């Protein structure tokens, strides 16, 4: 967990040091999206550090597994 | 920034070739031979034909709207609301798509060269490099591409030549011992990865210089043919060397490079070849991240995409270390679900727009 935290903090610090001075000169839309992306980063970082089973894109993708299986079975009936 | 960034048709073709071949050359031979056996290369030909059809659709729309990206002409064809509705899933899938390429690199390193290194460390360094590359812009990427393309293709050919003494052409037969079903199944896999992904390229085609636009179609079809030939070469070579084992050993080209042994002079060169193959992953991820940046900014009507490169890359990095982290689940996704997701998120909007464009043209006549 410590290694993960150090890695994330180093990356976040690098990103903010590079972007914060320039952020003031951009439009309102860019600043809003930047903030929204930071919230997403924070959420995913919690999942990463704590290994919590919170909703993520893989859960959404897994919903397509069943229809995909049916499709593959139609193409290749021999597959069990 | 977008107004100034232009590349020529040959550079666009090289980017396209990297985009199509980059990661698939390492990954695709094993699942295809695993599912279809010796018919793996036939499956690839079927998928390539489907890819050609999709490219024809992309290029038809490009000829109709040469200065506009997919989102821009979608707004003209189907309106702003429908475009937003279509491109939200497109963007979400693309976020994971960038992450997915890096997951594959991480898994490749984990199972071949950097077995003790935590995946998040590998992925973080890769994403830092990819983000910096994308921040440099498409012109800089296009200038880098020629040397690295020669390096990657040079090593692919070198591996195929140096394992020549291990070829057993008799392994290529029988061709389809279990009928056409497994071949169609394998074609489904290859269609999902990499051929249906080429739709995303429609976002950056307007970057080509206006004077070069007439030659883009010819060059991209040539690029796709080279991609198909390279993938078939790697499948056939891995079958001829590894025989029935080719479907069970992942990263076929890397496995072939481990077998190179020439008079105790050239041996154990797999690390060099492994790193040259990684270049393909790196370029594909960089091109796709650039496409993602363009999609996000155009969808939301923003002007400055460079300021958003780092946070978008950070989201992709975190997706790469929180989703499909084990090899089995990733393999299942690529072989089963990914082609369907691609069809819904990428191919669906493209076909809809092509249909609407053709319909409108007929009405106008």
pLDDT tens-digit profile of B105-159? 888 888 888 888 899 999 999 999 999 999 999 999 999 998 889 988 998 999 8
Kindly determine whether residue A47 and residue B318, on different chains, have CB atoms separated by under 8 Å: yes
Q: Containing H/E element for B262?
A: strand B261-262
The arithmetic mean of pLDDT across residues B199-219, rounded, is 91
Give the pLDDT score at B365.
77
Q: How confident is the model at residue B103 (pLDDT cuts 50, 70, 90)?
A: very high
Helix ranges restricted to H, chain B: 9-21, 24-27, 29-36, 40-64, 70-78, 80-112, 119-136, 138-162, 181-192, 213-242, 252-258, 270-300, 309-322, 327-332, 338-342, 348-364
Match 């090593």 to its residue by tokens. Answer: B155
Per-residue pLDDT at B209 exceeds 80: yes
**Maximum distance among all alpha carbons in chain A?**
61
Per-residue pLDDT at B2 exceeds 50: no
Q: How confident is the model at residue B270 (pLDDT cuts 50, 70, 90)?
A: confident
Give the pLDDT score at B213.
87
The arithmetic mean of pLDDT across residues B254-259, rounded, is 88
Out of A7, A58, A78, whose CB is closest to B178?
A: A78
Q: Which of B342, B345, B336, B54 is nearest to B185 (CA)?
A: B336
> ipTM for the complex?
0.95
Per-residue pLDDT at B304 exceeds 80: yes
- Taking each helix axis as running N to C, give the angle between helix B80-112 and helix B70-78, from 0 to 180 degrees, rounded to the nearest 10: 150
- Coil, helix or strand at residue B208: strand
Distance (Å, rounded) from C-alpha B61 to C-alpha B257?
A: 41
> Does the beta carbon of A61 lie under 8 angstroms from any beta carbon of chain B?
yes
> Does the beta carbon of A67 lie under 8 angstroms from any beta carbon of chain B?
yes
Q: Which residues of A touch B311 (CB under 8 A)?
A: 15, 19, 34, 37-38, 41
Q: Which of B22, B235, B282 is nearest to B141 (CA)?
A: B282
Asked if residues B258 and B277 have their Cβ atoms less than 8 Å apart, the reply is no
What value, to the nearest 5°, has the Cα angle with vertex B15 and ends B206 and B200? Answer: 55
The DSSP bridge partners found for residue B261 are B267
Distance from CA of A51 to the nearest CA of B (A): 8
Question: DSSP state, B7?
Answer: B
Distance (Å, rounded) from C-alpha B112 to C-alpha B274?
A: 9
Q: Which of B286, B285, B298, B319 is nearest to B87 (CA)?
A: B298
Distance (Å, rounded) from C-alpha B66 to C-alpha B82?
A: 21
Tens digit of pLDDT for each residue in B338-353? Answer: 999 999 999 999 999 9
Buried b (16+ CB within 10 A) or exposed e, B188-210: bbbbbbbbbbbbbbbbbbbbbee
Q: Which residues of B touch A64 (CB under 8 A)?
A: 337, 340-341, 344
Distance (Å, rounded) from C-alpha B91 to C-alpha B74?
A: 14
- Coil, helix or strand at residue A50: helix
Q: How confident is the model at residue B3 (pLDDT cuts 50, 70, 90)?
A: low
Out of B96, B124, B181, whose CB is closest to A57?
A: B96
Q: How confident is the model at residue B284 (pLDDT cuts 50, 70, 90)?
A: very high
Per-residue pLDDT at B364 exceeds 90: no
Question: DSSP state, A80?
Answer: -
Kindly determine whether residue B302 and residue A30, on different chains, have CB atoms separated by under 8 Å: yes
Rounded to two decimals, the pTM is 0.94
Distance from CA of A79 to the nearest CA of B (A): 8
The CA-atom distances, in angstroms, between B39 and each of A48, B187, B201, B238, B349 are 41, 10, 29, 13, 31
Q: Which residues of B touch A57 (CB under 8 A)?
A: 92, 95-96, 319, 323
In chain B, the domains with their CATH numbers are: 9-364 (1.20.1740.10)
What is the rounded average pLDDT for all residues in chain B? 91
**Maximum distance among all alpha carbons in chain B?**
70
More confident residue, B354 or B22: B354
Kindly determine whether residue A12 and residue B301, on different chains, have CB atoms separated by under 8 Å: no
Per-residue pLDDT at B85 exceeds 90: yes
The DSSP bridge partners found for residue B208 are B7
> Does the beta carbon of A40 lie under 8 angstroms from any beta carbon of chain B?
yes
Tokens representing residue B154 in the block: 């040079």
Give the pLDDT score at A42.
96
Distance from CA of A45 to the nearest CA of B (A): 7
The CA-atom distances, in angstroms, between A20 and each of A43, B45, B66 are 20, 49, 36
Tens digit of pLDDT for each residue in B55-83? Answer: 999 999 999 999 899 999 999 999 999 99
**Annotated domain spans of chain A:** 2-54
Distance of CA B183 to the CA centre of its chain: 21
The DSSP bridge partners found for residue B7 are B208
Tokens representing residue B2 in the block: 């977008």
Kindly determine whether residue A71 and residue B188, on different chains, have CB atoms separated by under 8 Å: yes
Give the pLDDT score at B189.
94
Kindly determine whether residue B120 and residue A7, on different chains, have CB atoms separated by under 8 Å: yes
The arithmetic mean of pLDDT across residues A70-78, rounded, is 90
Give the pLDDT score at B1.
44
């Amino acid at each position: 967990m410590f290694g993960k935290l150090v890695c994330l903090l180093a990356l976040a610090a690098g990103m903010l040091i590079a972007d914060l001075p320039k952020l003031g000169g951009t439009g309102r839309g860019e600043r809003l999206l930047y903030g929204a992306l930071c919230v997403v980063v924070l959420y995913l970082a919690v999942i990463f550090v704590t290994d919590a089973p919170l909703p993520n894109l893989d859960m959404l993708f897994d919903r397509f597994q069943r229809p995909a299986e049916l499709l593959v079975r139609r193409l290749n009936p021999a597959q069990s | 920034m977008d107004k100034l960034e232009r590349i020529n048709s040959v550079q666009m073709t090289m980017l396209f070739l990297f985009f199509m071949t980059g990661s698939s050359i390492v990954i695709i031979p094993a699942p295809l031979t695993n599912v279809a056996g010796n018919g793996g290369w036939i499956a690839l030909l079927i998928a390539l034909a489907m890819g050609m059809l999709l490219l024809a659709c992309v290029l038809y729309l490009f000829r109709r709207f040469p200065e506009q990206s997919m989102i821009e002409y979608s707004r003209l064809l189907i309106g702003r609301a429908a475009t937003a509705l279509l491109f939200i899933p497109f963007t979400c899938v693309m976020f994971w798509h960038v992450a997915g390429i890096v997951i594959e690199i991480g898994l490749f390193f984990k199972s071949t060269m950097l077995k003790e290194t935590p995946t998040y460390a590998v992925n973080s360094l890769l994403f830092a490099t990819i983000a910096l590359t994308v921040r440099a812009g498409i012109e800089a990427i296009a200038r880098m591409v020629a040397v690295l393309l020669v390096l990657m293709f040079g090593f692919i050919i070198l591996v195929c030549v140096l394992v020549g003494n291990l070829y057993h052409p008799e392994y290529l037969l029988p061709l389809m011992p279990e009928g056409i079903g497994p071949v169609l199944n394998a074609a489904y896999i290859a269609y999902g990865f990499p051929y249906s992904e080429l739709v995303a390229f429609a976002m950056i085609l307007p970057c080509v210089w206006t004077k070069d636009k007439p030659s883009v179609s010819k060059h991209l079809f040539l690029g796709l043919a080279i991609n198909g030939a390279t993938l078939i070469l790697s499948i056939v070579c891995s079958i001829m060397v590894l025989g029935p084992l080719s479907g069970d050993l992942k990263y076929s080209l890397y496995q072939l490079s481990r077998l190179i042994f020439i008079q105790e002079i050239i041996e154990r060169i797999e690390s060099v070849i492994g790193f040259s193959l990684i270049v393909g992953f790196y370029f594909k991820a960089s091109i796709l991240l650039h496409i993602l940046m363009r999609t996000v900014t155009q969808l939301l009507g923003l002007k400055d995409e460079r300021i958003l490169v780092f946070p978008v890359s950070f989201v992709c990095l975190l997706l790469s270390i929180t989703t499909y982290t084990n090899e089995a689940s990733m393999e299942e996704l690529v072989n089963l679900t990914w082609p369907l997701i691609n069809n819904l998120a990428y191919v669906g909007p493209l076909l809809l727009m092509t249909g609407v464009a053709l319909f409108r043209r007929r009405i106008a006549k």
